[in-house]
Amino acid sequence: MHRDDHEHQRHQHRYAHDTARAEQRTRIVITITMAMMLAEIVAGIAFNSMALLADGWHMGTHVAAFAITLFAYGFSRRHADDARYSFGTGKVGVLGGFASAVLLLVIAGLMAIESVQRLFAPSNIDFNQALIVAVIGLAVNLVSALLFSDTGHGHGHGHADHASHPHASEHAHEHAHGHEQGHANDLNLHSAYLHVLADALTSVAAILALLGGKFLGWGWLDPVMGLVGSVVIAIWAKGLLRKTGGILLDRTPEHSDLPEEIRRAIEEDGDSLITDLHVWQVGAGKFAAIVSIAGHQPRTADDYRERLARHEELVHVSIETRLCPEQVDIRA
């Protein structure tokens, strides 16, 4: 058995993409969200609106979630070259996304409980004043969503790890879609974006509830909208938990043809056979693989890596080759 594992060669494991722009936008969103949070909580208490108060409360938890987002970005950047992290710190953002998803579930639960209580114990609402604050809150949420959306489609994506990699030829082809993919898979940023969307949703619900109460006398609409918002937020949180949890547990990438493409590239000569394959995500849009190959005339590990060179998202590959006697049918 011959094992050629390029992990013993010195190279950086910088698998976290450039997050400077995302961090800057997150700081701006935190500032305006905190200001709106205080305004909505005070207004909700003063004008006796559950929908407005609920929006302010969960805005506060979103501020905490944005703080988690910033911490994850900062930690990932500071420890990007720390040798103690075998595969870099690219998954710190995923951990931040997971924590934010848990927080979203807490938000949904608190909103549901308070809304049910208000449904059975209605109170008078100052609709005119509450509507003004709710509209301002929606405007703030939309601005925040635009800030995150613009960041998510940016192209400030660095590839310093490719230049320092001893097998830099594997990553020689930089395609535009590769730059976009890193941001599209930034679950830390995505979780922050979901928090902003949740804010916008509850603001819309609050406005509808207040309008219904003001013009139709439907006071019950206020807590009902709170319940609807809590259900939608819980659904978003569940999806984010599933996605981030799978990555943290090194689940084989879902909705990706990468494992099958690796098999096709390695086995195209008709002699080589992959006997064991592990593929997992190590950063936003970046993956690692361990490949065990058997063959009667196996190629070198570098030859197999060359076959995988077109996959720039595959940033760390360990290859093990095994020679099988001619009389052994390795495909049996």
Decide yes or no: CATH 1.10.940.10 for domain 12-248.
no
Q: Tokens 């941001």 appear where?
A: 183
User: CATH 3.30.70.1350 spans which residues of the chain?
Assistant: 258-323
User: Tell me: the pLDDT tens digits for 183-238?
Assistant: 445 777 778 788 788 778 877 888 888 898 888 888 788 888 888 888 888 888 89
pLDDT tops 50 at residue 178: no
CB-CB contact of 100 with 196 (8 Å): no
Q: Is the pLDDT of residue 306 over 80?
A: yes
Torsion-angle region of residue 270: left (phi > 0), alpha (psi -120 to 50) or beta? left
Do residues 13 and 79 make contact, with C-beta atoms less than 8 angstroms apart? no
CATH 1.20.1510.10 domain position(s) in the chain: 12-248
**Mean of the per-residue pLDDT values of the chain:** 77
Indicate if the pLDDT at residue 126 is higher than 60.
yes
What the block records as the tokens of 128 is: 């005119």
Question: Is pLDDT above 90 for 289?
Answer: yes
Dihedral (Cα; 284, 290, 296, 297), 10-degree rounding:
60
pLDDT of residue 263: 94
CA–CA distances in Å: residue 315 to residues 26, 150, 267 = 28, 26, 20
Find out if CATH 3.40.50.2300 is the number for domain 258-323: no
